Amino acid sequence: MVKRHMAEKMKKPIVVACLALLCCLLWGSAFPCVKIGYEWFNIADTGSQLLFAGYRFTLAGILTFIIGSIIERRFLTMKQKAFPFIFAQGVLQTAIQYFCFYIGMAHTTGTKGSIINASNAFVSIVAAHFILKNEKMTSEKWLGCLLGIAGVITVNLVPGAWGSGFSLQGEGMVALCAIAYGLSTITLKKISHRDSPITITAYQLLFGGAMLLLIGKVWGGTMERFTIPSMLLLLYMALISTVAFCIWATLVKYNQVSKIAVYTFSIPIFGVILSGIFLGESVLTIQNLLALVLVSGGIILINKAKNEH
């Protein structure tokens, strides 16, 4: 009875919109946090960036485990049969995605990186068409994706921001990150019945975070200046992942992937707005308003789309 009530609640459009946008707002806030974290922890090389990511996601996994145990009133154990699936999810959703992201972003412009990375929504929606039986592409979904991508491009129309050329170490790695993220939404949907969303989130974060920690250490990464402000920042970034991934996993479990994934087009917009607030960048521009309109239009179109079976 409780599970049926939860399923019905999580399928309500207003609930989906509010919770999905909350996740995207939290993920968008990570952009200025990462930049501030690099300065506060004196992070300058790739190994240290991966180590920083490892600390963040391992701590997120621990926090999710503790919070989940309190919420479910039990020691948050993983079902034995679910282990290989959750482990694989951690490898794809956390380890591979953020390994590619941190290396790629060190070798490309922020504009090109954010646009390529935002294409994960497009990857999720198209991949769902081929992998999931009840998800089919329609003209509304195609148009919604195009509007979303147009919105992300618009918000990044800054003179000189595009740089030049294409490198596998830069744009190529960010593209792999987007593919990993997009596919991880599909695999999350496929394994959502194997355990509770909070259990899957806790363990996949622990597995992925531990891998990033190990890779960062082997790469020679270091982190310095563990002060109260920097540790509070790290705690907040871990909580971003804890809260956002738990909510996201729950939404994906009860809804079509396309209806959820499209909201990720709003992440760069939230990132730009919050960067303006915390990093002093200019955000009150016509292009940002236009980007918001385009992304909103894409979200509305995809949510109105009817599946063709």
Tens of pLDDT along the chain (309 residues)?
556 767 788 889 899 999 999 999 998 888 788 888 888 999 889 899 999 999 999 999 999 999 999 988 899 999 999 999 999 999 999 999 999 988 887 777 665 666 677 778 888 888 888 888 878 888 888 888 888 888 777 766 665 555 555 677 877 888 899 899 889 999 999 999 999 999 999 999 999 999 999 999 999 999 988 999 999 999 999 999 999 999 999 999 999 888 888 888 788 778 777 877 776 756 666 776 777 778 778 777 777 765 443
Q: Write down the pLDDT at residue 118.
A: 74
Neighbours of 140 (CB within 10 A): 17
Q: Write down the pLDDT at residue 251.
A: 93
CA 232 to CA 244: how far, in whole Å?
Answer: 18
Handedness of CA 79, 80, 82, 85 (dihedral sign): positive
- C-alpha separations of 116 from 39, 241, 261, 264, 305 in Å: 25, 21, 15, 12, 25
Tokens at 177, concatenated = 């990150």
Q: Write down the pLDDT at residue 163.
A: 56
3-class SS at 214? helix
Helix axes 83-90, 173-191, angle to 10 degrees: 160
| Extents of the domains making up the chain | 2-304
Q: Which helix (H) or strand (E) holds 282?
A: none
Provide CB contacts within 8 A for 89, sequence distance 6+.
184, 187, 188, 191, 200, 204
Q: Which helix (H) or strand (E) holds 108?
A: none
Q: Write down the pLDDT at residue 306.
A: 56
